[in-house]
Amino acid sequence: MGRPLLLPGALCTAFLALGQVRIDSPSLHQFDSGPPLTVEHRFLTGEHVFFRFAVTGLKKIDKNDDEFVEASWRAEIRDPAGTLLVEPRAGKIAQQVFAEDKEWKPIVRQDFLIPPLAPSGVYKISIKLKDEFGNSEASAEIPFSVRGHDVEPSDSLVVRNFRFLRSEEDRNPLRDAVYARGSTLWARFDIAGYQLGAGNRYDVEYSLAILNAEGKELFAQEQPAVEQGQSFYPRRYTPGAVSLSVDKDTLPGNYQLLLRVRDRSNNQTAELRTAFRVE
């Protein structure tokens, strides 16, 4: 029967036990020897998560006048949509128990990395435990929150979150996309809606062109930038960046940046036009 289990700082989980074995005091940590985190804590994408739990109630058996315990466990970490975040963790507890170990409890410690492009939301660590000698089982869930960069999904190739920037390090989009002659135009964006292949492989490219106010092409990038790779966790969007030197002889006026993207796995294409001004 399910019972609530309160963790330090009111971090909550629940466990189901059949028989005697128990998952005791599951907790989350920012580093291996750190204090338990509260439910209010939010991890960032690209951050390591450390978790641990104790095991109690294991049945002891006698072997040659010595006592032993044995258990197996498995932990799965899933995102808000239920997708596995990393490969499942699994292990065994096999230990001789001495008389002086009356209060001894096995402790399982594990860690994993939140993928840099994972979405925001509530994630879960699901733990299953089996007492090999007692033939009893227990399970637990540890929820945790993640703050990420969210990109709206798409069924077809699309450019999302395009923003002009003042510099490469700038994270705040320009309210007015105005650049001085002799400066550098910077922009960032996200590509979504591309097809994932075997092993969550992605393969996209992008290039830019500059048009005048009437739509005439003045400049086009010869070689596109290519983003490709694969990962255990599906990469649902790919960030991109472009920069262009604004020549000192550029005529003041209104211009358009044309961004062309292509999914190289199925040759699907998309374009985005956005205006800026040179003064």
Q: What is the DSSP string of 130-145?
A: EETTTTEEEEEEEEEE
Residues 6+ apart with CB under 8 A from 222: none
> Which residue has 């002891």 as its token pair?
60
Which CATH class for the 158-278 domain? mainly beta
**Is residue 207 within 8 Å of 227, Cβ to Cβ?**
no
pLDDT-derived band at 19, boundaries 50, 70, 90: low
CB 161: neighbour CB atoms within 10 A? 16
Domain ranges of the chain: 3-147, 158-278
Residue 41 has pLDDT above 90, yes or no: yes
pLDDT in tens, 218-263: 999 989 999 999 999 999 999 999 999 999 999 999 999 999 999 9
Equal CATH topology for 3-147 and 158-278: yes
- Does the domain at 3-147 match CATH 3.20.20.20? Answer given as no
The token duo for 47 is 């951050």
CA distance linking residue 28 with residue 274, whole number of Å: 44
The token duo for 114 is 């939140």
Residue 64 has pLDDT above 90, yes or no: no
**Is residue 85 within 8 Å of 48, Cβ to Cβ?**
no
pLDDT-derived band at 65, boundaries 50, 70, 90: confident
Taking residues 15-20, report their average pLDDT.
Answer: 54
